[in-house]
Amino acid sequence: MIKTIIFLFIVGLIITGILINPILVRRRRNRLKNRPFPPLWNAIIENNLPIYPCLSPDELRRLQGHVQVFLAEKQFIGCRGLQVTEEMKLTLAAIACLLLLNERGQYFPRLRSILVYPNAYFVEERTSIGNYVVEERRVARLGESWTTDQLVVSWEQVKLDSTNWRDGHNVVLHEFAHQLDQEDGKAEGVPILQRNSDYPIWAKVMTEAYQQLCNDVLQGVKTVIDSYGATNTAEFFAVATETFFEKPHQLLSKHPALYEQLQRYYQLDPVLWA
């Protein structure tokens, strides 16, 4: 009898924890978002995010709130001797949190740690070339997103992308778009959408745009979306996200249906930031 009571008590605690925990998390996040935004932080972000002054007052307020939550919940780890500074954290957080302005309520839930290298880093890559033969090579990378709990970026590349915002390349936007895509545990170019009815039109528009990019790349046609997006559908979503935020006018002109889907997903219209 005593064992049964203890068991039921423990189960009750577990159930109560499951029910209360999301509420506590939401309250804690709301407290963080409502804190005054330090003027120094504001100056650092304005200096490193070119579109920051172009945001509407409401977008600015929400972005600052998300940055405070992001900094409180994510761990930054310097690699190869790099000392991660406040500027690095704020710059990474501000760019990443642009993707959260659709107020989906999540903060890249699978992500725990952000590894920051001073510049490009090398990894050993294995590729099967058939007949039980595996090719090994050392390749340089500027960033990558893991489906477990880590994301990696090169700080040198982050700075370069911030300086050249309108070139359509941004390693932070790219890798955090992968995080959105990987929220359900799969990387296939389909993030979690608001309604089930949204998936068919998303699939249609994205597939058509992806196939067009693949065809254009094969024919040597100049494209608004970087050719790396033709690698696979997961990379296409990440590259399309970069283009949406950095070259919105060109994307809207060349791919209006794609722009509309990204606009609906991110709940933003970057054309207004020009």
CATH number where 260 lies: 3.40.390.10
pLDDT for 147 equals 76
pLDDT for 139 equals 72
Where does a domain end: 133, 165, 197? 165
Low-confidence residues of the chain: pLDDT under 50: 3-20
Same domain, 81 and 153: yes
Same domain, 144 and 49: yes
* CA-based nearest residue to 226, from 243, 248, 246: 243
Structural domain boundaries, residue 43 = 9-165
Q: How many Cβ atoms sit within 10 Å of the Cβ of residue 124?
A: 8
Where does a domain end: 112, 132, 165? 165
Asked if 240 and 262 touch (Cβ cutoff 8 Å), the reply is: yes
* CATH number (domain holding residue 66): 1.10.472.150
pLDDT for 132 equals 61
pLDDT for 135 equals 62
* CA-based nearest residue to 265, from 209, 208, 199, 204: 199
> Residue 231 domain-assigned?
yes
Same domain, 23 and 102: yes
Asked if 62 and 101 touch (Cβ cutoff 8 Å), the reply is: yes
Same domain, 214 and 156: no
Same domain, 241 and 110: no
Residues 61, 63, 69, 74, Cα dihedral to 10°: -160
Same domain, 160 and 266: no
Domain count, the chain: 2
Same domain, 22 and 144: yes
> Residue 174 domain-assigned?
no
Where does a domain end: 96, 130, 165? 165
Distances, alpha carbon 11 to alpha carbons 15, 16, 17, 199, 269, in Å:
6, 8, 10, 38, 47
